[in-house]
Structure 1
Amino acid sequence: MLVEIWSDIGCPWCFIGKRRFEAALSRFEHAPEVEVRWRSYQLDPSLPERFEGSEVEYLSKVKGMDPAQVSGMLQHVTEQAAGVGLDYRFGDLKVANTFTAHRLIHLARDLRGAQTAAAVKEALLAAHFEQGQDISSHDVLAGIGADAGLDPDTVREVLSGTEYTDSVNADIAEGRALGVSGVPFFVLDRKYGISGAQPEEVFSQALTQAWAESHQPLQPVVSEGGACAVDGSGC
């Protein structure tokens, strides 16, 4: 079974949703047969490579939100993150464009497969929300790539060009075609869509239902037509 997850590294609910989904998947009896594929999405493609200001300043000045409302919202998100073992530090967060970081995930998948891509995704989210690192920095991205087993010089060379730009844009376009307007967004076998960082039990129910429907036995159809036996006993 294929689970595709559209998310943005700059989305705090995406990290929380990742944890909740993974908790549900860890308890799913068919987990070894589930392929998880991370898809790129950008909440704010117009964001400069590095915004000189805090998350509160970005959301209030650029997005026009009330600073007091933003502070309350970030406190709520921080509490929700703590509930799944994450230590959000919005005071240290570096507001940055995520496009190049998404390219790194595609590079990791291309060179080392889905598990390495997932490790890079995890490291990027942790670097952004918990460690106060600038995820637009090629040095930071090269370090994250190296920790995941990629050659840091290769990472720098690729990111200095435009490779995997089309891959990121294709993910975003495909997500929009499927109706994704916010992230995280989970798509199970292209049959079920789950929007947002839902509680663990919602993901558990969806995994069970999607698995059951994709593994239903074929229903026999009564027919008068002739047939041959697969064991060669006759036609």
Structure 2
Amino acid sequence: MRVEIWSDISCPWCYIGKARFKKALAAFPHRNAVEVVHRSFELDPHLAHTPRPTTGVAHAKKYGMTPAQARAAEENLAANARSEGLEYLVDFRDHGNTFDLHRLLHLASARGVEDELLTSFYNGNFAARRSIYESEHQVELAVCAGLHEPEVRAVLTDKRAYADRVRKDEAEAARMGITGVPFLVIDRNYGVSGAQPTRVFTDVLRRAWTDRESALTILGTADQAGCDADGACDAPRNIATDGTELH
């Protein structure tokens, strides 16, 4: 069974959703028969490659909130992350273009350490007091994940390296109508929108295993916890499909 997960390193709900799905997969009886593939999705592909600090004031202005509301939103994200055993710094982090990070993830995929690098990038962005957009930080994180330093530097230097694979993932997301992340697809039959509770991921894994030929069914609605293409990140809400709660 194949699970594809579209996500962006700048998305806090992708960070949280990854941890929740990992718990569901660990408890899944057929986990050894599940292939997980991470797909690229840029929340804001038009951002400059030179990062800028995201201050509370700027964050509030972007989403039409007061600074106090913006701070409360970050505190909510932090609480959700910590409930999953993740570290999360509430201070606003740098904000920048993630295209190079996605290119490195495709290098990692080719070398069999994609999940390790994605985890490293998430930790570097949400739990470290250093910008994920510093090239030296990217190199260090990639090497720690198991990649060879000369190869990492070569990919960062050659802007064409793996660029077509990133664009292919993004084009496929557009074709499937994916407009926010995280978004999970199982065998191109089942879809899960947002950083759902672990029990929802558990449920869809079980359903997909017993029904491998269903048409794509979206579980969860667009208002579930996730980040959209405008970079807005929502709070989690109760999950329902066809008006009934999933268990």
TM-score in terms of structure 1 length: 0.85
Contact 2:51/2:133 (8 A) holds in 1:
no
Q: Call closer, same or farther: CA 1:32–1:97 in 2, change over 3 Å.
A: same
* Alpha-carbon separation, structure 2, partners of 1:20 and 1:207: 13
Residue 149 of structure 2 corresponds to residue 137 of structure 1: no
Q: Call closer, same or farther: CA 1:107–1:57 in 2, change over 3 Å.
A: farther
Partner residue, 2:242: none
Residue 153 of structure 2 corresponds to residue 124 of structure 1: no
User: How far does residue 61 in structure 1 lie from its aligned partner after superposition?
Assistant: 4.3
Higher strand share: 2
Q: Deviations over 1:67-102 (max 9, x none)?
A: 332211111111111100112103162222211111
Larger Rg: 1
Q: What code does the residue aligned with 2:131 have?
A: D
Partner residue, 1:228: none
User: How far does residue 8 in structure 1 lie from its aligned partner after superposition?
Assistant: 0.5
Q: What code does the residue aligned with 2:3 have?
A: V
Between stretches 60-69 and 30-39, larger displacement belongs to: 60-69
Q: Call closer, same or farther: CA 1:43–1:128 in 2, change over 3 Å.
A: same
Same amino acid, percent of matched pairs: 40
Q: Deviations over 1:112-137 (max 9, x none)?
A: 12xx0110000000000001332222
Superposition map of 1:19-168 within 5 A = 19-91=19-91, 93-110=93-110, 112-113=111-112, 116-162=113-159, 163-168=161-166
2:52 match: secondary structure: coil
User: How far does residue 177 in structure 1 lie from its aligned partner after superposition?
Assistant: 1.1
1:214 match: secondary structure: coil
In the TM superposition, structure 1's runs of 4+ consecutive aligned residues that sit over 4 Å from their partners are: 61-65
User: Structure 2 regions of 5+ residues with no counterpart?
Assistant: 215-247
User: How far does residue 107 in structure 1 lie from its aligned partner after superposition?
Assistant: 0.7
Partner residue, 1:202: 200
Contact 2:106/2:162 (8 A) holds in 1:
yes
User: Structure 1 regions of 5+ residues with no counterpart?
Assistant: 217-235
Q: Call closer, same or farther: CA 1:125–1:58 in 2, change over 3 Å.
A: farther
User: How far does residue 160 in structure 1 lie from its aligned partner after superposition?
Assistant: 1.1
User: How far does residue 145 in structure 1 lie from its aligned partner after superposition?
Assistant: 1.6
Partner residue, 1:231: none
User: How far does residue 21 in structure 1 lie from its aligned partner after superposition?
Assistant: 0.5
Partner residue, 1:171: 169
Partner residue, 1:189: 187
* Alpha-carbon separation, structure 2, partners of 1:152 and 1:31: 32
Q: Provide the aligned C-alpha RMSD in A.
A: 1.8
Q: What code does the residue aligned with 1:74 have?
A: E
Contact 1:5/1:185 (8 A) holds in 2:
yes
1:87 match: secondary structure: coil
* Alpha-carbon separation, structure 2, partners of 1:169 and 1:118: 20
* Number of aligned residues: 213
Partner residue, 1:222: none
Q: Call closer, same or farther: CA 1:47–1:64 in 2, change over 3 Å.
A: farther
